[in-house]
């Protein structure tokens, strides 16, 4: 049986992701009552300027009252504390709670445990969309168009929660993948967290000794280092939550960097060509991403 999306949806923490969710929902689910919880009263005014139809408040209880779907868009480290607050509130019976965090194992473990004592259901989500920019002002309604959203259902996930969460992210333009939280964290450490750290490494290696080298930058430098402009506090939290998988990915990157250094130092151009060909082949197989 097809599950209808709830008419009352609450977004907790409208930064880039949460704000884009709000704008996307206003366009694609206009009949719904969309609410947002913000930490600062100034953000209420900011949201009202973006779209007056979005009901924003610093009162968490007011925002989630009657909501059939709640989406947590706060930093992953703060999600358990917010979940504990929600668990004490009179949530709508059968309420579904999901998130948009880029780490899943610790979040899913913590939040499934917290909400198991309530009538609400939790399922982990991770839309693979974003920008080096942050905050409500960077939000855009089409941020999720064509992106992958990874859902991480477990044995405790209800069929209804899974169906509605699939429908929610599909409505926003996402292609859905499903996997276990641990598999998500392993893959995302390599396909998302490692590239961010690589961008940081390239930026530091290129500019730490000579900032004026940036005057010579072309598209290659801009493309590789763009995400190094991301929010340092946000990324510190992400890395700390997926430390083991990121260390594993970094060790592999360190080995490959060592191979490159040895090959180039020894002037072994045949080995260099083979490595470059392997990288191009792997990247071409991956296709447009």
Assign residue 239 the CATH number of its domain: 1.10.3660.10
pLDDT at 132 > cutoff 70? no
Shared domain for 22 and 114, answered yes or no, is yes
Beta bridge partner(s), residue 10: 35, 70
Mean pLDDT of the chain: 92
Is residue 72 located within the same domain as residue 159?
A: yes
- Residues 129, 25: one domain? yes
Angle at 3 between CA 168 and CA 63, to 5 degrees: 55
Mean pLDDT for 83-100 is: 96
Percent of the chain exceeding pLDDT 70 equals: 97
Give me the number of domains the chain comprises: 2
Identify the three-state secondary structure at position 21. helix
In the DSSP assignment, the letter for residue 245 is H
Query: Between these two residues, 270 and 4, which has the higher pLDDT value?
Result: 270
Q: Is the pLDDT of residue 289 over 70?
A: no
Query: Does one domain contain both 172 and 188?
Result: no
Q: What is the 3-state secondary structure (H, E, C) of 103-127?
A: CCHHHHHHHHHHHCCCCCEEEEEEE
CATH of the domain at 135: 3.40.50.720
Return the minimum-mean-pLDDT range out of 25-39, 93-107, 250-264: 25-39
pLDDT at 285: 87
Checking if the pLDDT of 2 tops 80, the result is no
The pLDDT assigned to 170 comes to: 96
Are 162 and 208 in a shared domain?
no
Q: Is 1 a domain residue?
A: no
Instruction: Let me know: does 22 contact 49? Beta carbons within 8 Å.
Output: no
pLDDT digits (tens, 9 = 90+) for 160-216: 999 999 999 999 999 999 999 999 999 999 999 999 999 999 999 999 999 999 999
Q: Residue 250's domain spans which residues?
A: 184-286
- Number of other CB atoms surrounding residue 151 within 10 Å: 22
Q: Which of 12-21, 119-128, 166-175, 239-248 has the lowest average pLDDT? A: 12-21
Same domain, 154 and 225: no
- The order of strands in the sheet holding 121-127 is 55-57, 33-37, 8-12, 69-72, 96-99, 121-127, 148-152, 175-178
Instruction: Give the bridge partners for 98, in sequence order.
Output: 71, 123
Say what the pLDDT of residue 256 is: 96
pTM over 0.75: yes
Same domain? For 149 and 200 the reply is: no
> Residues 78-93: what's their mean pLDDT?
95
| Statement to judge: residues 136 and 188 lie in one domain | no
**Within a domain: residue 138?**
yes
Check residue 53 and give its pLDDT: 78
In a domain, 3, yes or no: no
Give the number of other CB atoms < 10 A from CB of residue 37: 26
Q: Give residue 43's pLDDT.
A: 77
What's the pLDDT tens digit per position in 31-75?
899 999 988 887 787 887 777 778 889 999 999 999 999 999 999
Closest CA to 148 of 123, 118, 134, 169: 169
The per-residue b/e assignment along 183-215, b for 16 or more CB within 10 angstroms, e otherwise, is ebbbebbbebbbebbbbbbebeebbeeeeeeee
Are residue 236 and residue 115 in the same domain, yes or no?
no
Most confident of 13-17, 133-137, 139-143, 155-159: 155-159
Q: Is 257 helix (H, G, I), strand (E, B) or coil?
A: helix
**Are 143 and 255 in a shared domain?**
no
Residues 36 and 149 reside in one and the same domain: yes
Question: Which of 2-6, 82-86, 148-152, 224-228 comes out lowest in average pLDDT?
Answer: 2-6
Query: Both 168 and 220 in a single domain?
Result: no
83 closest CA partner among 93, 281, 91, 40: 91
The answer to the question of residue 2 being in a domain is no
Is residue 138 pLDDT above 90, yes or no? no
């Amino acid at each position: 049986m097809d599950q209808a999306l709830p008419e009352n949806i609450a977004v907790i923490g409208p930064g880039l992701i949460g704000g884009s969710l709000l704008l996307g929902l206003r366009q694609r689910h206009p009949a719904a009552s969309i609410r947002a919880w913000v930490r600062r009263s100034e953000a209420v005014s900011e949201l009202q300027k973006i779209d007056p139809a979005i009901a924003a408040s610093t009162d968490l209880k007011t925002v989630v009252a009657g909501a059939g779907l709640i989406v947590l868009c706060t930093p992953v480290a703060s999600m358990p504390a917010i979940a504990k607050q929600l668990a004490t509130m009179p949530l709508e019976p059968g309420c579904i709670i999901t998130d948009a965090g880029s780490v899943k194992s610790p979040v899913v473990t913590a939040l499934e445990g917290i909400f198991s004592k309530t009538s609400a259901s939790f399922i982990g989500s991770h839309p693979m969309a974003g920008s080096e920019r942050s905050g409500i002002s960077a939000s855009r309604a089409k941020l999720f168009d064509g992106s992958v959203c990874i859902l991480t259902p477990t044995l405790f996930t209800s069929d209804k929660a899974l169906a509605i969460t699939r429908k929610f992210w599909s409505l926003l333009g996402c292609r859905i993948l499903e996997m276990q939280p641990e598999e998500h964290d392993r893959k995302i450490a390599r396909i998302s967290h490692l590239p961010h750290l690589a961008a940081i490494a390239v930026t530091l290696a290129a500019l730490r000794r000579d900032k004026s080298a940036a005057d010579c930058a072309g598209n290659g430098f801009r493309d590789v280092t763009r995400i190094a402009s991301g929010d340092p506090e946000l990324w510190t939290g992400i890395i700390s939550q997926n430390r083991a998988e990121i260390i594993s990915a970094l060790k592999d990157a360190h080995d490959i960097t060592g191979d490159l250094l040895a090959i180039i130092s020894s002037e072994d151009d045949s080995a260099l060509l083979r490595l470059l060909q392997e990288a191009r082949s792997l990247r071409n197989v991956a296709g447009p991403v």
